[in-house]
Amino acid sequence: MEAAPPEVPRSLLEADLPTLRSFIVARGGKPFHAKVLRRAVLERGVLAYERITDLPAGLRAILEEELPIFSGRLVDERTAADGTHKLLIEFPGRGESETPISVETVHIPPARPERDPNKGATLCVSSQAGCPVACPFCASGLLGLARNLRAHEIVEQYVRGRALGPLSRSVVMGIGEPLLNYAQLSAALDTVRDEMGLGGRKLTVSTVGFPDRLRRLAPDKPRFQLAISLHTPDQEQRDRLVPAMAGVPIEEVLAAGDDWFEKTGREVTYEYVLLGGENDSEGHALRLRERLSGRRCSVNLIPYNPTPELPFYRPESGSPEYFRDVLVDGGLTATIRWSRGLEGAAACGQLRLVR
């Protein structure tokens, strides 16, 4: 059972507005200081109390002493040659039974900044510590699920990520299966949209596509773009490649995607990791084309990013292009996504849980 929230918040991001207000008032501040504080940190990205000069100095000193901005701690960071920056953030456990866990967040600057100087980075955030889905090609599920991230831990990834440079987009495509931690994710995304100004079409959530969960979300005003990891047109193969979805007919996943489009007016993107010799044949492309034909959607083909301990490899050169052309010739929209951050192990499927 989840422990009751502490009366004294352990970090600023963990405290909701009423909690923050009473904390501040109890220390001689004014109720409106709570909003000033959240605005400074979330909207303007000021990450040191001493620089929030619209608060009284005495209050700033108390905050400095008693209320860290973050609950997490940056334990490692790496920049790849292409500018992709990976953060490893450790979050404490709550109570005695929980050990600290670390998750990864990746800041991906635009590939060709000269094309559009106003374009900011894409931030890739994690939704769970580890992942219970256990796709055999993905590093994120190698240790299973440690625990769900809490809303403020997801928000913290955004705040720390934005401190590395302005964001234009964000994708919930880091560690974890977002729909298995939807309540916390959803609370976090509200904060990110309302207080940090990043949401709607600029935000993509990627999932293996549990049909009933998707249907429960769809009536919502769409707060994000939806990506569904499909990976193969063949049932038996999907049961193996996405074990948590074994037995769920591909047609049901696609039907839930169609419903999403009907209810939200936003097209679904199907993700397809291209695994050499596994799901990258012409037959796969033709069967995928058949499955998707007539549907309003697009396909992102992701050539596999290798993980040393896993027995999968990248398709041969030229094969992703051929695969794409088969889809495009059938009237589909398909794009190849060459991952960034490969050599820093910051690319799709290379992010992992550390404990």
260 in contact with ligand SAH (CB under 6 A): no
| Residue with smaller CB distance to ligand SAH, 285 or 302 | 302
Adjacent-strand bridge partners of 274: 303
Tell me, yes or no, if 267 is annotated catalytic.
no
The residue from 307, 315, 324, 327 that contacts ligand SAH (CB under 6 A) is: 307
- Out of 14, 104, 177, 271, the active site residue is 104
55 in contact with ligand SAH (CB under 6 A): no
149 in contact with ligand SAH (CB under 6 A): no
**Cβ neighbours of residue 248 closer than 8 Å, sequence gap 6 or more:** 210, 211
| Residue with smaller CB distance to ligand SAH, 142 or 328 | 142
104 in contact with ligand SAH (CB under 6 A): no
122 in contact with ligand SAH (CB under 6 A): no
* Spatial CA neighbour of 269 closest among 180, 335, 314, 178: 335
**Cβ neighbours of residue 141 closer than 8 Å, sequence gap 6 or more:** 130, 131, 132, 133, 134, 135
Tell me, yes or no, if 135 is annotated catalytic.
no
Q: How far is the CB of 228 from ligand SAH (least distance, A)?
A: 7
Q: How far is the CB of 350 from ligand SAH (least distance, A)?
A: 6
105 in contact with ligand SAH (CB under 6 A): no
* H-type alpha helices, the chain: 17-26, 33-38, 57-66, 151-162, 182-194, 211-217, 235-241, 250-264, 282-292, 319-329
The residue from 108, 349, 352, 353 that contacts ligand SAH (CB under 6 A) is: 349
String of DSSP letters for 221-245: PP-SEEEEE---S-HHHHHHHSGGG
Adjacent-strand bridge partners of 103: 89
Q: How far is the CB of 179 from ligand SAH (least distance, A)?
A: 8
The residue from 14, 156, 177, 278 that contacts ligand SAH (CB under 6 A) is: 177
Q: How far is the CB of 355 from ligand SAH (least distance, A)?
A: 19
Element (H, E) at 107: strand 101-108
286-305 binders of ligand SAH (CB under 6 A)? 302, 304-305
- Out of 131, 138, 297, 348, the active site residue is 348
CB 75 within 8 A of CB 88: yes
Q: How far is the CB of 169 from ligand SAH (least distance, A)?
A: 14
CB 273 within 8 A of CB 349: yes
Give the whole-angstrom CA distance, residue 195 versus residue 192.
Answer: 6
DSSP E strand stretches across 32-100: 73-79, 85-91
Give the whole-angstrom CA distance, residue 195 versus residue 38.
Answer: 8
181-240 binders of ligand SAH (CB under 6 A)? 206-208, 229
Rg (alpha carbons) of the chain, rounded to whole number: 21
The residue from 34, 273, 332, 345 that contacts ligand SAH (CB under 6 A) is: 273
Residues with a catalytic annotation lie at: 104, 348
Residues of this chain that interact with ligand SAH (CB under 6 A) are 133, 135, 137-138, 173, 177, 206-208, 229, 271, 273, 302, 304-305, 307, 348-350
